[in-house]
Amino acid sequence: MRASVLLSGTWALASILLNVFALKDFQTLLQPEEIASDCALATEANRDPKAHFARSTLVVELNVTAGRFESTFISFNTRTYNGEIPGKTIKVCMGDKLIVRLWNLLGEGSSNLTNLHVHGMEVTSKGNGDNVFVPVEPGHLRVYEYAINQSSTTHIYYHPHVHHLVNSQITGLMAGSIFIVENKFHPSYPRQLREMEEVVMILQGVCYMNCTNNRDNIHSALINRYVSTELEPNDLNPDIKIQPSNSMIKDLGQVHLFVNGQYGPTLHMSTKKCKRLRLVNAVANNMVELVVPGCAMYALGADGIYRNGSPVKKLVTMLSPGGRSDIALCCEKAGTFWMASDSSASRVEMLGLVNDHRVASQKVMKIVVSDCTLDTINATRDFHWKLPYDTQHLVDLRNIPASAIPLKNRYDYELSMDQKSGFQSPAGVTSAFGINRMPFEENYINHTMVIGQVQEWHISTNIVANNCGSNSVTGSPCRRVVHPFHLHGFPFQIIAKSQELDPEDLLHEIGQYRDTVLLHGDQKLVIRFIPPAYSLGDILTHCHISSHSDNGMAQIVRVIE
């Protein structure tokens, strides 16, 4: 959706005036505007399985401007990419060079710092690469250069990543997708997948008042009220207008889901044909549990990486904050159905309390299915074909004996909370959130890795407080919540997990490669990965609940030669 760029006061830095977008709530789902490299355009138009295309360079202008988000439910002033919510979809090829010119056209004030993270992209974190340690000040330009020489994933999520400002700007709806296009006529690419229309769906959330998680409050997030450091004020007045009667859940204390900036949009489908949904959870602090009663969902992959084997049917699709999911949506009968979020009490042991860092149950998108009268194969019934996993060139690390991995390459990584006493960093900062019981310290390197050597990490969560048993789910400071672990720069393989807490593989699948995985309570994961040559330097790891990361649940590790 298009927002109007505000040009009053210090917002006069914005260079382009955009018209106020027309409200598109409860109408046909729109796709974000696209910008593609020459190679990507040629690849998508191709029908020749043997075709090869010259690699190209794509230059993208991302202007961070103030704009007004408007919907029939809630409207407010916020920060945007080019006055659009969500940002443009960017398409490139493997081997392309992507140059992003990020202009910060916001007003003065340290809470208007910004930068860019390409979540899932396998590129260097140094210099002008995926370097989230350097903020872009108001009135300044930063040029990011990404050499896309290797990639396991085809779906990347871009968003701001300045420490202490992540929650503010993601909650303010700054997000977009990058796709690495595939040759869909290559012999290894299944015909059934090629014939599915792709639908980009960026899920974002807004909560108005008395939110279950106060960090979701849109006014407080936009002015960045909840951080553990003092930031200079800015002149952004959220100017929130709300129409409570247009809420589909009638509870202003819950996060309301938007799809591509639209509230309650409609997706049109036909029987016998499936659609490939390219989902990203761009909600700052909440996981999303999606169901589609009356239709079927088949998991194709997660975090842009295909699963190894055939698509598998799922009754619910789990998306952690920052997570991406590829699903085939199929409806065999004509009619009207709803995709909904489902914060079910049946999953409390796996995910924590209903609505607690879990988007509340609500209708998300109407699905209108018409009869397909054509004499065609019923694609909704055949899912025995193999996904193109082998094209991702992933190495299976499961068969390496644990004894063959040196102790220096093993690491225990605990997502820690202590809401009673807090943790203290080497610099003397105290916070309730930390990694291995220490809050984030940008000058402290917690673990060192060598390029090309297998790493084995044991990921867990913990509540550090007196009288908090392993089954405590209620009452502060013992309330246990979900924590999505995210590693910048490259994916990792899941080697082992607490099978009894996820017996249906709704969250994790052993052997699967991911870049963001969600844990809760006593869940534990063992992951392995090999730091690639391009990853030399400092790598950020953190909880992808943005308010947790902003307040200390993050850690820097270093890759050396």
Q: Within a domain: residue 534? A: yes
Which structure tokens are listed for 278? Answer: 């390219």
Last residue within a domain, chosen from 342, 364, 392: 392
104 with 41, same domain? Answer: yes
Nearest to 537 by CA among 129, 143, 158: 129
How large is the average pLDDT for residues 468-473?
Answer: 51
Residue 313, classified by CB atoms within 10 Å of its CB into exposed (0-12), middle (13-18) or buried (19+), is exposed
Q: Encoding tokens for residue 314?
A: 């799922």
Per residue in 23-45, pLDDT (tens digit) is 699 999 999 999 999 999 999 99
Instruction: Check whether residue 120 and residue 255 sit in a common domain.
Output: no
Enter the pTM of the model: 0.94
Q: Are 331 and 362 a contacting pair, CB within 8 Å?
A: no
Domain boundary among 367, 392, 417: 392
Q: What is the pLDDT of residue 150?
A: 84
Q: For residue 476, give every residue at least 6 positions away whose Cβ sits within 8 Å of its Cβ, in sequence order, or none.
A: 419
Say yes or no: 499 and 386 in one domain: no
Tens digits of residue pLDDT in 39-84:
999 999 999 888 888 999 999 999 999 999 999 999 999 999 999 9
Give the model's pLDDT for residue 41.
Answer: 96
Whether residue 454 sits in one domain with residue 412: yes
Strand partners, 554: 542
pLDDT-derived band at 391 (thresholds 50, 70, 90) equals confident
User: Which residues, at least 6 apart from 293, have a Cβ–Cβ distance to it below 8 Å?
Assistant: 337, 338, 340
Query: What pLDDT is attached to residue 390?
Result: 87
Does 33 share its domain with 143? yes
Tell me, what's the pLDDT at 122?
96
Q: Are residues 417 and 499 in the same domain?
A: yes
Burial letters for 507-542: b for 16+ Cβ neighbours within 10 Å, e otherwise? bbbeebbbbbbbbbbebebbbbbbbbebbbbbbbbb
Domain stops at, among 392, 414, 435: 392
323 with 411, same domain: the answer is: no
The residue segments making up the domain with residue 521 are 402-560
- Contact criterion met (CB below 8 Å) for 426 and 447: no
Would 221 be classed as within a structural domain? no
Q: How many domains does the chain have?
A: 3
Integer Cα distance of 327 and 307 in angstroms? 11
Parallel/antiparallel/unpaired status of strands 89-92 and 34-36: parallel
Residue 547 lies in a domain: yes
In this prediction, residue 420 carries a pLDDT of 76
Cα–Cα distance, 23 to 145 (Å, whole number): 35
Task: Identify the band that residue 227 occupies on the pLDDT scale cut at 50, 70 and 90.
Answer: low
Contact yes or no for 142/134 (Cβ under 8 A): yes
Both 414 and 438 in a single domain?
A: yes
**Residue 193 placed within a domain:** no
- CATH of residue 131's domain is 2.60.40.420
* Percentage, residues of the chain above pLDDT 90: 78
CA pair distance 234, 253, nearest whole angstrom: 26
CA distance 495 to 1: 41
pLDDT band with cut points at 50, 70 and 90 for residue 6? very low
Confidence category of residue 236, pLDDT binned at 50, 70, 90: confident
Please compute the mean of the pLDDT values over residues 8-13 and round it to a whole number. 38
**Mean pLDDT in the chain?**
91
Q: How confident is the model at residue 296 (pLDDT cuts 50, 70, 90)?
A: very high
Higher pLDDT: 212 or 115? It is 115
In a domain? residue 224: no
Q: Do residues 387 and 428 both lie within one domain?
A: no
233 in any annotated domain = no
- Between CA 97 and CA 106, with CA 102 as vertex, the angle to 5 degrees is 170
Question: What confidence tens digit (pLDDT) does each residue in 182-209 have?
Answer: 999 999 999 999 999 999 999 999 999 9
**What is the per-residue pLDDT across 508-524, written as a single tens digit (0 to 9) for each?**
999 999 999 999 988 99
Q: Are residues 376 and 407 in the same domain?
A: no
Q: Nearest-5° angle of CA 542, CA 533, CA 537?
A: 45
- Cα-Cα-Cα-Cα torsion 504, 510, 513, 519, nearest 10 degrees, comes to 60
Residues 472 and 490 in one domain: yes
Q: Quick one: 139 and 272 in the same domain? A: no
Q: Judge whether residue 471 has pLDDT over 60.
A: no
User: What integer pLDDT is reported at residue 229 of this predicted model?
Assistant: 60
- 279 close to 201: Cβ distance less than 8 angstroms: yes
- CB contact at 8 A, 117 and 544: no
Does 308 reside within a domain?
yes
**By the 8 A CB rule, do 68 and 90 touch?**
no
Specify the amino acid at residue 136: V
In a domain, 27, yes or no: yes
What is the rounded average pLDDT of the residues 234-254?
A: 90
The 10s digit of each residue's pLDDT in 309-355 is 999 999 999 999 999 999 999 999 999 999 999 999 999 999 999 99
Q: Give the pLDDT confidence of 374-385 residue by residue, as tens digits.
A: 767 677 778 999
